[in-house]
Amino acid sequence: MIRSLFSGVSGLRNHQVRMDVIANNIANVNTTGYKTSRTNFQDILAQTVGGTAINATQIGLGMSVGIIDNVHIQGALQGTGRTLDMAIEGNGFFVVRPVDSTGTTVDDPMYTRDGTFYIDKDGYLVTAQGYRVSDSTDADIQFTDPDQIVSIDITTTGTITATDAAGGTQTFTIGLAMVNNVESLQRRGNNLWDVTQMTLPDPPVVEAPGVNGRGIVRSGYLEMSNVDLALEFTTMIITQRGYQANARVVTTSDEMLRELIDLKR
């Protein structure tokens, strides 16, 4: 009965974790470029209490969270009509770098599928947080005299052509990083991803869109969240029922213990 209590508690605790993941997915249903998370359970230690000629006799001791992974499938593209909004159709990540207090770009890049970009006062192409966007050579994209730009055109292969009032042009090619072990990336908030030790044996390589398996860029679009609300609500119901079932195990085990204690009376 003590074993059943702890098994029930493990079910309660880990179904709560699963509900936390579901809640976060639903909260980010409209977050640009968000990738849904999912929780997988696994059984834990089993106690061997005997055996036969065929197999061992074991009693399981509950369950745990095996892994919380991220599902990197393509989200739907939504038209915005804004040129500097870019969506990746296919594989790859935009490469961005934060800037320190002196205005110097930090060497360690970060990765995002959120293509909501702007041009700052210094002419850099940046994210909403001010991170500078890299080109296909992994250098920052910086326009000369940004106040003089009258039009910007972006092709599906990532070529950015800025035209000024005098008819002069500046051309850049936005970079996309290919991450082979995409599941090894970890979230850093603000729609950003970072590499881990599991990523580094095969580090991301930055090249132009459409090259070596990279996707293309759609200007005037943003990639929406890939959260499937129907699936999330279904999983939420299953998780709730699992939580209730484990709560019943706890209360039933408690009643059995009470009956055992009452035998003394």
Q: Which amino acid is at 47?
A: Q
- Domain layout of the chain by residue ranges: 2-72+227-262, 77-223
- Please tell me the predicted confidence (pLDDT) of residue 104: 86
Dist CA 265 CA 254 (whole Å): 18
Report helix, strand or coil for 75. Answer: coil
Mean pLDDT of 177-206: 92
| The two three-digit tokens of residue 59, written as one number | 């009693």
When comparing pLDDT for 50 and 31, which is higher? 31
Q: What is the pLDDT of residues 124-138, one digit of tens each?
A: 999 999 999 999 999
Say how many residues make up the chain.
265
- What pLDDT, on a 0 to 100 scale, did the predictor assign at position 100? 87
Q: What is the pLDDT of residue 186?
A: 95
Confirm if 59 and 46 have CB atoms less than 8 A apart. Answer: yes
List, for residues 157-177, the tens digit of each pLDDT value: 999 999 999 899 999 999 999
Contacts of 143 (CB under 8 A, 6+ apart): 119, 123, 124, 125, 149, 162, 170
Residue 13: CB atoms within 10 A of its CB come to: 15
Kindly state the average pLDDT of the residues 43-56: 80
The tens digit of pLDDT for each residue in 201-211 reads 888 999 999 99
As beta bridge partners, residue 193 has 111, 187
The confidence band for 259, taking pLDDT boundaries of 50, 70 and 90, is confident
Residues of the chain with pLDDT > 90, as a percent, come to 78
What is the distance between the alpha carbons of residues 1 and 142, in angstroms, rounded to a whole number?
68
